[in-house]
Structure 1
């Protein structure tokens, strides 16, 4: 099991874990490392992978072994560097990328909060928290003539929620007995199962724009963006 340090602190950008497993692919000149703990978020849950380095070597990709609960870190090594179990390594996550992902992911959760506050009987389906077109998708339907107005209303409620959240009311999370992690945007939030990274306070999300509502088959997609995204 790889301990995921970002569960407790999304703004932990450096760490020094131990190597549990190390396997070298000679053809690709890359190492596959399993660490005892990590700050790297792998792709999943609608969130992109983190970027960064392990002991000055670029991280190529991250993958989760769901059966073992481990995260494999693929590392490019073209200078003859080697890794062995028990080695102490230094992790460095790209801070700009991490903060970008956290803002977009938290903004997606904010869409859920706004939808609930409006009393819409939408059932969450999936989400896409990537910079090239973020959205949250729900099982539900909205007449074409009502979509523009509803998009504006969701945006208004979302930004009002940001403005009215007290500075001391931080984003929190907890692990349930079954291992599920719940994330709460504030003390008023009912929580949402999530394994991603988030801002410390909803005000860090910035202004949210709901760009449009799109319906596909039985699903309504709420497309959104955030301001000043680096």
Structure 2
């Protein structure tokens, strides 16, 4: 398995690791990695691997077999041999923007209290699809509410809940199309706010900023009709 360093510290930018496998598609599997793999609407991280006198650009990371994470080179190249010790480095600017957008989308799911049917994250903006018949009445009020959450500079933290505890609190699961993984032990929860006074609490495996103030100013984008009971709302980072 690959130890997920991004869970230990989402702000870590570089780390040592050892190659433990290659994939049939030309990916590299490390014993531990900073690279978040594509999932939950969040893109896989990009960056670099360096060993001896060699350097490899990593385009993305994906989930491999079992609990492995495979790093995908940006072009076909000779891979570091199994057993090689190397340095891994994130494209930190891109990852940090993903973190800001991801936390902002959790805030959007609070400001728009409808079931979430889909979502996606990029380095400049994100979007959520909501199970709602009509667009929000007041765009300006919605944008003000989102920026108010940011200005609170609320703490963002994580914890764990058992499947039985989650079953007893189904209101925590906002996503209608994608459910938290089952049969893999406890489920990670991301909390915005304090334990006894939280803004949002929901299952999530992605990376987030430490405080909402780190998101920066938010700008509401397009609101599209995607079906009789579906509205897509875009949210942009202002900087």
2-structure distance, mates of 1:83, 1:175: 36
Q: Is the 8 A contact 2:46 2:61 kept in 1?
A: no
1-structure distance, mates of 2:189, 2:131: 21
Q: 2:111 aligns with which of 111, 114, 131?
A: 114
Indicate how the Cα distance of structure 1 residues 24 and 45 shifts in structure 2: closer, same or farther if over 3 A, else same. Answer: closer
Q: Deviations over 1:74-125 (max 9, x none)?
A: 23574x56311x332211001111111111111111101222xxxx4x1111
Aligned pairs for 1:73-112 (under 5 A) are 73-75=71-73, 76=75, 78=77, 82-84=80-82, 86-112=83-109
Indicate how the Cα distance of structure 1 residues 77 and 69 shifts in structure 2: closer, same or farther if over 3 A, else same. Answer: same
Residue aligning to 1:37: 32
CA apart distance, 1:132: 6.1
Q: Is the 8 A contact 2:61 2:72 kept in 1?
A: yes
1-structure distance, mates of 2:223, 2:14: 39
Residue aligning to 1:28: none
Residue aligning to 1:184: 191
Q: Is the 8 A contact 2:119 2:127 kept in 1?
A: yes
Residue aligning to 1:171: 156
CA apart distance, 1:64: 0.6
SS at match of 1:153: helix
Instruction: For structure 1, list consecutive stretches of 5 or more residues without a partner in the other structure.
Output: 26-30
Moved more, 33-42 or 183-192: 183-192
Whether 2:148 is the aligned partner of 1:160: answer yes
Whether 2:72 is the aligned partner of 1:61: answer no
Instruction: For structure 2, list consecutive stretches of 5 or more residues without a partner in the other structure.
Output: 163-184
Q: Is the 8 A contact 2:107 2:200 kept in 1?
A: no
Residue aligning to 1:72: 70
2-structure distance, mates of 1:24, 1:46: 25
For normalisation by structure 2, the TM-score amounts to 0.78
Root mean square deviation of aligned Cα = 2.2
Indicate how the Cα distance of structure 1 residues 112 and 57 shifts in structure 2: closer, same or farther if over 3 A, else same. Answer: same
Q: 1:194 aligns with which of 171, 196, 204?
A: 204
1-structure distance, mates of 2:191, 2:20: 32
SS at match of 1:73: strand
Q: Is the 8 A contact 2:107 2:146 kept in 1?
A: yes
2-structure distance, mates of 1:113, 1:124: 11
CA apart distance, 1:23: 5.1
